[in-house]
Amino acid sequence: RASGIAVTITWSRGALRGLVRATTDAQGAFRGVVPRDAAEVVAEIRESPEPEAGVEHPGHAGARARVEGLRPGARDVVLELGEAAELSGWCVGPDGEALRPASIQVLPRVGPASWSAPHPIDPETGRFHVTGLRHVPYWVLVKGLPSGYLPPPPEPVPLPAVDIRLVCPGGPSAPLPVVEGTVEGAELQGFRATWLPEQTAWHPLPSARVDADGSFRIRCIPPGRGAILVRADGDARCAWRADVDPAEGPFDLRLRPGLAIHGRITGWPAETVDRLEVVLSMPSGRDRRQRVRDGGHFRFPGLPPGRYELRTTDRFVPRDRLPPARRTVELEDVEPSEREVVLDHAVE
């Protein structure tokens, strides 16, 4: 039952770090090749595997399976799998009417965060059932709802959770809430307008493409006030409007040079610093990533005012193994429009 499970093995040797992937065989055994002079080796199961045709996986909480401080040549390493958590239930409307959406996706509230593959809804019963999850709260995203219904409010669901009812607001005769407006500016190809509700944990954030004439219309937004952000990847311009009521629209916005954060990384070996990524956590709750370049420099243009957090990641090293390098930056709509930040990796 333990066959086909992905095991991640990380190693370090001075400033060098590496990652090896292995897969368990029918007996649950795995094998990975690391340098003979590696200083430290960590073996772990980071995520529960996705089901594959013809392969049975044991339901387990993969993030709990981890062994540190190994040495090259270590044998008989045992990764003990935790018991799986499950999520099951139905989607209903505000009056208790049964709904049959297309699928749901789940995202752990803590720890490694990535949306799962869509889990289908039983078309006859409308029931969903997801196994192999960790014992932490999960965000649940309902997709493909009938017209007029909105996803449930963004409240994390503690697991295990069996036979729960996810209440979806709206109804077949309810008007679909929208945010609409016009953006003034040239060359609008690739720009999107995003609604940022006061409940910043809402997943996913509603957005819509900006048409060539500058108009946009964002559908199915959650109730309450929020902000509008218009931007495009790789463009230094953006437009925003804070603290608005959708009912007051349509809104007129104007593209302008956005604010920016630039900086450098210190305290990291020069020969490997360009391997790092800088993660910018935005006020919307989403992240933007950028590979470090030119010996440790980075720059994020096209930002609206707000509070940002920057941190570094290394794809060869688990997040909790990196030396601390975090900074919080408050961008205000005043000059200068660009802030410099130093992320120091020096270990005390």
Q: What is the pLDDT of residue 70?
A: 80
Element (H, E) at 58: none
Strand-pair partners of 281: 287, 309
Q: Indicate if the alpha-carbon torsion angle 313, 317, 318, 324 is positive or negative.
A: negative
Instruction: Specify the pairing of strand 82-83 against strand 103-108.
Output: unpaired
Q: What is the pLDDT of residue 54?
A: 36
Exposed, middle or buried: residue 163 (CB in 10 Å: 0-12, 13-18, 19+)? Answer: exposed
Q: What is the pLDDT of residue 213?
A: 92
Q: What is the pLDDT of residue 53?
A: 37
Answer whether 102's CB lies under 8 Å from 123's CB. no
Q: What is the pLDDT of residue 191?
A: 94
What the block records as the tokens of 201 is 């944990």
Ranges of the chain whose pLDDT falls below 70: 1-2, 14-16, 46-66, 81-82, 110-115, 174-176, 199-204, 284-285, 315-324, 334-336, 346-348
Strand-pair partners of 106: 140
* Cα 64 to chain centroid, rounded: 20
Residue 151: cis peptide before it, omega within 30 degrees of 0:
no
Question: Over the stretch 226-254, which tens digit does the pLDDT of each residue have?
Answer: 889 898 887 888 888 888 888 888 999 99
* pTM for the predicted model, two decimal places: 0.57
Cβ atoms within 10 A of the Cβ of 312, count?
Answer: 22
Q: What is the pLDDT of residue 113?
A: 54
Q: What is the pLDDT of residue 319?
A: 53
